[in-house]
Structure 1
Amino acid sequence: MDKREFETVTNKVLVSGIVQGVGFRPLTFRLAEKYNIRGTVQNKGGMVEIIAQSSQSDFEAFIKELKNARWGGCEIVNLAVKDITESKPEQFTEFRIIGSTAGRKISIIPPDLAVCDKCREEMYQKSDRRYLHPFISCMSCGPRYTIIDCIPYDRENTVMEDFVMCKECGREYKSPSDRRFHAQTISCHECGPRLIFRENRELKDEEAYARAAGIIKQGGIIAVKGIGGYHFVCSPFIEETVQNLRKLKGREEKPFAVMFGSVSEIEEYCHVTEKEKILLESGAKPIVLLYSDNQRMAFSTYKGSVYCGAFLPYTPLQIMLIKDCGPLIMTSGNISDQPIIREDAAMLSLKSPLLDGVLYNERRILRSVDDSVAKIVDKKPQLIRRSRGYVPYPVFLQDNGKNMKIFAAGGDLKAAFCLYQGGSAVVSQYFGDLEEAAVFDEYKASVGDLGGLLQMTPELAVCDMHPGYLSSKYAETLGLPLLYVQHHHAHIASVMAEHHMEGKVLGIAFDGTGYGTDGHVWGSEFMICEGGEFKRAAHLTYTPVLGGDPSMKDAKKTAACFLLNSGLDRFINDDRSGIIKSALDHGINTILTSSMGRLFDAAASMLEIADVNSYEGKCAVFLEKEALLAEKNHIRPRQMSFGITEKEGELLIEPGPVLETLGSEWSERKEEDEKALRRSLALGFHCAVAEAALKVCLIVREKKEINQIALSGGVFQNSVLTEHLIQLLRKSHFEVYYNMAVPPNDGSVSLGQAYIGLMKGR
């Protein structure tokens, strides 16, 4: 037996991960008491330091339970133990939580946490002093990222410093036996925050809530302050109300997300699988895209989509409103394409006869964070918009001792930047389109904000090679060494980063647009990638299309361009065809594109599904809808296939044969069979794209012996295509990887850029 087994030993323990803002120090305190540990625990920079004095056996039991503890949002990434007994440390008589100190180690900052089950129970217990308290929280729940001013995470470093704890909250905060022991967001009815409702007069507390709920029940629209900004809130059942909401936001077509009280309530309106239920109830509480065929809500809520963006309440106030008012549209409080509003003054100054009041409080929101959006693909969760509940949790990369600090600018659409240091890649929240000046301003301000919060100053900037991207122009102003990365290479690299892929990878990047190394517009790229390098292996044949953003929205014009290029003029259904042909023949405002997204637009227009992208991707979304309904109704896909040729070492995918099948079948349709034929052709198109991708992968594997496939790009938000392609690839024994921690759309680009910067850096 080790003679030190029962002797007093002193160990220093450094813990990194999500260990601040999640009740880790109180948890450590309780375990220390359980195992007779004396010493201290404190936040130290971005880590937690424990000095533990005890017998060796007690210490080992303490560490074992600490490592395996599951508490709130806590996640230990690394735990290092150093025996300091020989250094004759201070002798302790008890275990204490002591004051925090600053440090140089980068912090892993917790995301905002949804209200926990225990707090939900308390808020509906009439005997509890926090009965119906709209800001109830504890160590395991409540806002974090949106209220932290700096680290370490202590109350005085958050916006909660504005609220003086009452005597009872102070007692709970200092009591080791209380579950609000050192809970930095602790509050109650007495010490605030408190509700305020503003219309033509100001109401507070219970009166404020009652008036706000009453307006919603009467068919009105109110703004409600949340964790990362405001929501516009109204009933999804009243057509006139929802139309008014669209006028208020300037949002004509895109479906609204709906918040429900429980999964069982969601099941009354949507189809929910077991995997989708788990995602809905996860700690992040994202909006989850669910298949829905219900006709009970106002048409303007879904606008013809087969997907309902459903989510569960994640704040106490939301729980109260849903309980009293039923399911509610809970959409971002902004005018379309503008940043979500977080400042009280900005919302209160939004004068509109369509907005019936503002329900808010005086707790400041330091940074805007929109709701996250996710869905289940391949029986796994996939993010579509990464924000609240996920940001700023990092994606962990293999640093290999390079010790680099990188700023990756991302792209201009669905903008998100990335800060990398010490193996942690922190992808920012979603911002939107940087062409909107207010969005770009928010993006730039957030770079400095998050860098300061993480105590990180970048040494290398990485950006897209598109010469007109605002994100790239911003990176150029930073005065740092600059690396330009091709857009689709960054997409594929994001998958490689997530899954720690090594060796050669065949990446497939399908999207709407990306600046290619030859100056043309790419968008259907098969790339052989290894480390930070790539070689283009295949793509759609180039099609001349009329350029400019308005043309990208005009799917009918895009269809005419594709048909003209394939010699299929007879199928063009556009009165402007003569003008379009003349412009293409004379090279007027013409670009060459290999975009898969534009091909989806063309197919949607040819089948008379949609002609205009009134919001990004609308035509492709409604093409997918018809394919999905074909599957749901057991309609067989029409057989069609792409041609594949080889030129100068690259495989070229020819869309002409598929377009000819679509055109000939649709032109010969009979009215009574129109719906079924459209769905059969839409599904056949999806299958043909998946089969063409498989053929390319088989040819490349035969030549290059590559078996790893990485899928990324906005087109892979299409579940029908993605599921079909994954199944085909796996049947051919490929290893298939795709984005999960970041979206497949341009929200993943900054992570891929950071990865390439790390691979190509010193």
Structure 2
Amino acid sequence: MDRAWSCGARLSVGNCAESAAQALALQPLGEALALAADGPPVLAFGAWFKNAPCLVHGRTAQFAHTVGDLDRAGACQDHDAAIERLCGLFVGEPAAVAHDLHPDFHSSRAACAFAARRGLPAIAVQHHHAHVAAVLAECGHGGPALGLALDGVGLGTDGQAWGGELLRVEGAEFARLGHLRALPLAGGDRAAREPWRMAAAVLHALGRADEIGARFAGQPAAARLGQVLERPHLCAPTTSMGRVFDAAAGLLGVCEVMKFEAEAAIALEAAAAGWPDAAPLDRSHWALGADGGLDLLPLLAVLADERDVSRGAARFHATLIAALAQWIERAAQAQALATVVLSGGCFHNRILSAGLAARLRGQGLEVLEARRLSPGDAGLALGQAWVARRILEKGN
């Protein structure tokens, strides 16, 4: 719906939206953070999942409450009302609005409509750039820094689904230094809800597609999925770490179909807890490419033959940490940087976040992590605003 926006004034878009705005006004605001640096005011609209808009003004970042996923009309109305409430906290106009690079998110469309009505710049910020920037903003670090952004999905600058990204972030700019080996999304978005599909993609990549039908006999589509995987144009690639966790869970039989978001990753972490102090597999179980990429297929191949779920889950975590640490160490040396940011929804996993941070600090690197904010999309809007500020300052 095309809506007229005005900071500090009520939206006039019908009783339903007005009621939503009135109800939202009764809810507490989200986190307020003190920032290390001043800058132009920016209103950031967030992304799709766990949406939480943010207003950055002076040395303060004020979040609205977490609206949630923008997959329902009610959530979209709540998002619009949250934007209105943030506008009511600020006298005057923001210098710009910021939003995700994906043009079809409700938040992106709302941001562009807002900007058009007010004659303001609308600044699109790449998803993983924003993840890293959110931590830099919270920690008061101006960069440059390495950023490891691990999550489910975010639109990349090449139009592909990113989610396992090693970046160099310096203010308004970022460089993609490397990414995880891409895996095909067999079945499109269904692959993000059905880990067995990611496991099947791994088996296909290992030359073991003939095992898919028998291994996942309980899934009606299993018998023909191998044929689908033979047609790359039917399976968009993704570099998502979230999908790697799904593949691991599917290969170990921890979770074939999820009932809620991140169920497979949560189950995998819980299984790993049953085998404490697992040692990582040796370095032959991952590969660092000349192009800066990280290939975890050798690690996943081991899981395909693992019979002890807890041991397999624990070895997966331990080896993943070792592989990521080597990947980051190589990039840190090449870029002459000693600071690394860990961000993205995968860092809700405490085995991964604590283990990787400890290992990197042991290598002499400064590690920055989300403190009060979520490492996932609920904190993303702060990163959008931080990048937009840098762009505005650069323009001036």
Deviations 1:460-506 (A, max 9, x none): 11111112211111111111211111100100000111112134201
- Counterpart amino acid of residue 333 in structure 2: E
Aligned residue for 2:306?
665
- Distance, in Å, in 1 between the alignment partners of 2:206 and 2:125 is 32
Aligned residue for 1:645?
288
2:117 is the counterpart of 1:475 = no
Aligned residue for 2:58?
422
Shift of 1:588: 5.2
Match of 1:492 among 118, 125, 132: 132
Aligned residue for 1:290?
none
Deviations 1:728-759 (A, max 9, x none): 10111110110112100101110000000111
Aligned residue for 1:396?
35
Cα separation, partners in 2 of 1:749 and 1:559, compared to 1, 3 Å: same
Contact 1:563 1:659 in 2 (8 A): no
Cα separation, partners in 2 of 1:413 and 1:366, compared to 1, 3 Å: closer
- Counterpart amino acid of residue 560 in structure 1: A
Cα separation, partners in 2 of 1:397 and 1:412, compared to 1, 3 Å: farther
Task: Give the match's secondary structure for 2:153.
Answer: strand
2:174 is the counterpart of 1:534 = yes
- Distance, in Å, in 2 between the alignment partners of 1:517 and 1:546 is 22
Aligned ranges for residues 403-442 of structure 1 at < 5 Å?
Answer: 404-442=40-78
Aligned residue for 1:613?
258
Contact 2:24 2:78 in 1 (8 A): no
- When Rg is computed on C-alpha atoms for both structures, the one with the higher figure is 1
Contact 1:640 1:685 in 2 (8 A): no
Contact 1:414 1:430 in 2 (8 A): yes
Contact 1:571 1:663 in 2 (8 A): no
Runs of at least 5 residues in structure 1 that lack an aligned partner in the other structure = 1-148, 151-340, 344-363, 370-387, 667-676
- Distance, in Å, in 1 between the alignment partners of 2:54 and 2:20 is 22
- Distance, in Å, in 1 between the alignment partners of 2:279 and 2:286 is 18
- Counterpart amino acid of residue 289 in structure 2: E
Aligned residue for 2:4?
none
- Distance, in Å, in 1 between the alignment partners of 2:292 and 2:234 is 27
Contact 1:717 1:744 in 2 (8 A): yes
- Counterpart amino acid of residue 541 in structure 1: R
2:351 is the counterpart of 1:723 = no
2:371 is the counterpart of 1:740 = yes
Runs of at least 5 residues in structure 2 that lack an aligned partner in the other structure = 1-8, 11-18
- Distance, in Å, in 2 between the alignment partners of 1:450 and 1:423 is 16
Cα separation, partners in 2 of 1:640 and 1:679, compared to 1, 3 Å: farther
Greater relative contact order, per chain length (Cα 8 Å cut-off, separation 6+): 2
Shift of 1:659: 1.3
2:324 is the counterpart of 1:693 = yes
Task: Give the match's secondary structure for 2:289.
Answer: strand
Contact 1:539 1:594 in 2 (8 A): yes
Shift of 1:562: 2.3
2:228 is the counterpart of 1:586 = no
Aligned residue for 1:455?
91
Aligned residue for 2:195?
555
- Whichever structure has more helix as a proportion of its residues is 2
- Tell me the matched-pair count: 367
Cα separation, partners in 2 of 1:638 and 1:501, compared to 1, 3 Å: closer
Aligned residue for 1:567?
207
- Distance, in Å, in 2 between the alignment partners of 1:568 and 1:659 is 13
Contact 2:246 2:265 in 1 (8 A): yes
Shift of 1:538: 1.7
Aligned residue for 1:705?
336
Cα separation, partners in 2 of 1:550 and 1:724, compared to 1, 3 Å: same
Q: TM-score, normalised by structure 1?
A: 0.46
Shift of 1:615: 0.9
Task: Give the match's secondary structure for 1:651.
Answer: coil
- Whichever structure has more strand as a proportion of its residues is 1
- Counterpart amino acid of residue 424 in structure 1: T
Deviations 1:614-673 (A, max 9, x none): 111010000000112222xx6x346265422334xx31211221111111233xxxxxxx
Shift of 1:422: 1.4
Cα separation, partners in 2 of 1:659 and 1:640, compared to 1, 3 Å: farther
- Distance, in Å, in 2 between the alignment partners of 1:622 and 1:637 is 20
Shift of 1:678: 1.4
- Distance, in Å, in 1 between the alignment partners of 2:361 and 2:383 is 24
Cα separation, partners in 2 of 1:519 and 1:566, compared to 1, 3 Å: farther
Deviations 1:521-577 (A, max 9, x none): 111101011112111112111112225433310111121012212334365422444
- Distance, in Å, in 2 between the alignment partners of 1:342 and 1:484 is 27
Shift of 1:444: 0.2
- Distance, in Å, in 2 between the alignment partners of 1:366 and 1:712 is 29
- Distance, in Å, in 1 between the alignment partners of 2:158 and 2:37 is 32
Cα separation, partners in 2 of 1:759 and 1:518, compared to 1, 3 Å: same
- Distance, in Å, in 2 between the alignment partners of 1:571 and 1:706 is 44
- Distance, in Å, in 2 between the alignment partners of 1:608 and 1:493 is 36
Q: TM-score, normalised by structure 2?
A: 0.87
Match of 2:275 among 621, 626, 630: 630
Aligned residue for 1:518?
158
Task: Give the match's secondary structure for 2:372.
Answer: coil
Aligned ranges for residues 275-286 of structure 1 at < 5 Å?
Answer: none
Cα separation, partners in 2 of 1:585 and 1:499, compared to 1, 3 Å: same
- Distance, in Å, in 2 between the alignment partners of 1:577 and 1:456 is 57
- Distance, in Å, in 2 between the alignment partners of 1:703 and 1:757 is 28
- Counterpart amino acid of residue 271 in structure 2: E
Root-mean-square deviation (CA, aligned residues, Å) is 2.3
Contact 1:497 1:751 in 2 (8 A): yes
Q: Percent identity?
A: 31
Aligned ranges for residues 118-517 of structure 1 at < 5 Å?
Answer: 367=25, 369=27, 391-399=30-38, 402=39, 404-478=40-114, 479=116, 480-517=120-157
Task: Give the match's secondary structure for 1:541.
Answer: coil
- Distance, in Å, in 1 between the alignment partners of 2:282 and 2:379 is 32
- Distance, in Å, in 1 between the alignment partners of 2:344 and 2:90 is 29
